[in-house]
Amino acid sequence: MNKDTALLIIDVQNGVVDWSQPSSNGNEVLKSISSLLTKARESNASVIYIQHDGEDGGRLAIGSSGWEIHSEIAPIDGELIIRKRASDSFYETPLKDELDKKGIEHLVVVGCRTQFCVDTTCRSATSLGYNVTLAKDAHTTMDDVLTAAQIITHHNSTLDDFGNDRYVITAKESKEIAF
């Protein structure tokens, strides 16, 4: 990968998942995201954070501790934070414009929650003209109809090789991803 690649960190906020919940594998996911963040920063790749703005009084209410980006992977000066209100990180946000300004053609996607914001953003990205690498061990969710582990495994399989005739999602382990 080269300078046309950005690390996109979606909704890694204190209130998105219970980071201590064993099924979310939160601590391991944070380590994987941190490792990718270090690689991206060392190679001067663009790092873009997506932060979900929740409803007033909710766990992601703007300005609340739940709304804050997790301290273990917090942005540093110069790293872009884009705020959103929908599962799709592109929907009514400046994300596409920012990526285009930077000449980004490829996204490495990590974050929360797998079946909502991670999935939707990955799929949308291919429709908008971006190749995507989904870091298989760097996204998480909480138990729902299926266990978190089942949801993550399902999405890693379903999204791998998803796309169109020009742009595709590839699922890889963090250790296999370079910037």
Domains of the chain listed by start with CATH number: 5-176 (3.40.50.850)
pTM of the model: 0.96
Per-position pLDDT tens, the chain of length 179:
568 999 999 999 999 877 667 667 888 999 999 999 999 999 999 999 999 999 999 999 999 999 999 999 999 999 999 999 999 999 999 999 999 999 999 999 999 999 999 999 999 999 999 999 999 999 999 888 999 999 999 999 999 999 999 999 999 999 999 99
Closest CA to 95 of 82, 105, 85: 82
Residues 6+ apart with CB under 8 A from 81: 48, 49, 50, 51, 69, 75
